[in-house]
Amino acid sequence: SAVISQKPSRDICQRGTSLTIQCQVDSQVTMMFWYRQQPGQSLTLIATANQGSEATYESGFVIDKFPISRPNLTFSTLTVSNMSPEDSSIYLCSVGVVEQFFGPGTRLTVL
Amino acid sequence: GENVEQHPSTLSVQEGDSAVIKCTYSDSASNYFPWYKQELGKGPQLIIDIRSNVGEKKDQRIAVTLNKTAKHFSLHITETQPEDSAVYFCAAATGNQFYFGTGTSLTVIP
């Protein structure tokens, strides 16, 4: 299994600001995934990030709100833009095509 | 698309008893069924999985069963311990598309 780290582990942000979350993997992977887990809820896929191409977003998520970068095969960032309290969630990155492994998550609180 | 339902949403058991969590899915094309354990403040961890060509899989105190005809699968934890307390998620997957259940909060009472 891959070892995945995320930064920051948690943050408290003001409404209207943006936060960039980093995800680092200890091995090269083709696909990386970003999920949102709202309080007490299940995991919802935001987008799939492939190195060298635009991220693919799921229904209900748009690039302007959640821009993603994938500069190499071990790293990705997710930005939560123009935040509102409704964006308060845990954001998780994961890797793996057949078996998915998750990072520790970034707990975001928007005031 | 796939719809995964998970029951119960909360479960309390006495230490040493067994715990069973059940999931159903709707898409017969789903062929991979993992279970994740999420402890407070951590990301989900894969604890066991089963593929569609297998009916049952066991790993020490944890077992998973799959009934493809009925489209349901279950997680069984025997001899529960306090450290088993966590939120458990099931998922059904086809390729790299994963669909997660709503989670079961398991509490093991010492």
Rounded Cα distance, A36 and A3, in Å: 19
- B36, A42: Cβ pair inside 8 Å? no
Minimum CA–CA partner of B90 in chain A: A42
Residues from chain A that touch B45, judged by Cβ atoms under 8 A, are 102
Chain A residues with at least one Cβ partner in B under 8 Å: 1, 4, 31, 33, 41-43, 45, 48, 92, 97-105, 107
Residues of chain A with pLDDT > 70, as a percent, come to 100
Of the residues A24, A58, A98, A108, the best mutation for testing chain B's interface (the one with the most B CB atoms within 10 Å of its CB) is A98
- B102, A41: Cβ pair inside 8 Å? yes
pLDDT classification of B41: cutoffs 50, 70, 90: confident
- A102, B45: Cβ pair inside 8 Å? yes
Give tens-digit pLDDT for A41-92.
Answer: 889 999 999 888 889 999 999 999 999 999 999 999 999 999 999 999 999 9
- Tell me what pLDDT residue B2 has: 84
Whether omega before A67 lies within 30 degrees of 0, making that bond cis, reads: no
- A42, B100: Cβ pair inside 8 Å? yes
pLDDT classification of B95: cutoffs 50, 70, 90: confident
Count the residues in chain B: 110
CB-CB: which of B42, B89, B95 is closest to A42? B89
